[in-house]
Amino acid sequence: MLKFTKLAFAIELLDMAPVRTRRSLRWPLLLGTSAALLTLSCARGAAGGDSQGVAVASGAPLAETATDNLFAPDAYTIAAGESYTLTMINAGDAIHNWHIVDAKAGSGREIATPLTAAHKSSAVTFAIARSGVYHFQCDVHPDTMKGTLTVRGS
């Protein structure tokens, strides 16, 4: 095999198609990554969200997708004192749940969906009276499946 160290392009011997070298791919990769980050930042601003995640209208349903081992989205912003129903769709192959670890419902019960089998869904209805930043997790995978729930005063 021939080795060309000074050429920006090499010719594949089988089909003679030009192939970019690692060095020639650096700038497009850097520019593409920068453009993606800028687009994501602008989309969050245009959607009314900020670094606090997906902004949800008062009382609107929340939808959470759990995969192995990731929540999407992993951040929400809701209004204090409003009632919300979160439906967790387990799109993964493992058992998952959604649990707010640092807040309880007015009755003192945990705010959590039950453990949910693969490719099933479950729901929980809740309201949080005090504004602040709360954390949610999957109790089965607490190190990798976690997120934040920002509650803003009304």
Domain residue ranges of the chain, discontinuous segments joined by +: 9-46, 54-152
- pLDDT of 11 strictly over 60: no
Contact 87, 109 (CB under 8 A): no
- 54-152 to CATH, choices 2.60.40.420, 3.40.50.720, 3.30.450.40, 3.90.550.10: 2.60.40.420
- Cα–Cα distance for residue pair 58/84, rounded to 1 Å: 8
R_g over Cα of the chain = 23
Q: What is the dihedral of CA 90, 96, 98, 103, to 10 degrees?
A: 180
Antiparallel, parallel or unpaired: β 62-67 and 70-72: antiparallel
Q: Which amino acid is at 64?
A: E
> What residues pair up with 86 in beta bridges, in sequence order?
62, 124
pLDDT for 104: 93
pTM score, two decimals?
Answer: 0.66
- Cα–Cα distance for residue pair 26/107, rounded to 1 Å: 56
Q: How far is CA 5 from CA 2, 10, 20, 37, 113, in A?
A: 10, 9, 12, 33, 58
| Better-scored residue on pLDDT, 51 or 134 | 134
When pLDDT is cut at 50, 70 and 90, the band that residue 99 belongs to is very high
- pLDDT of 77 strictly over 90: yes
Structure tokens at 107: 């009755």
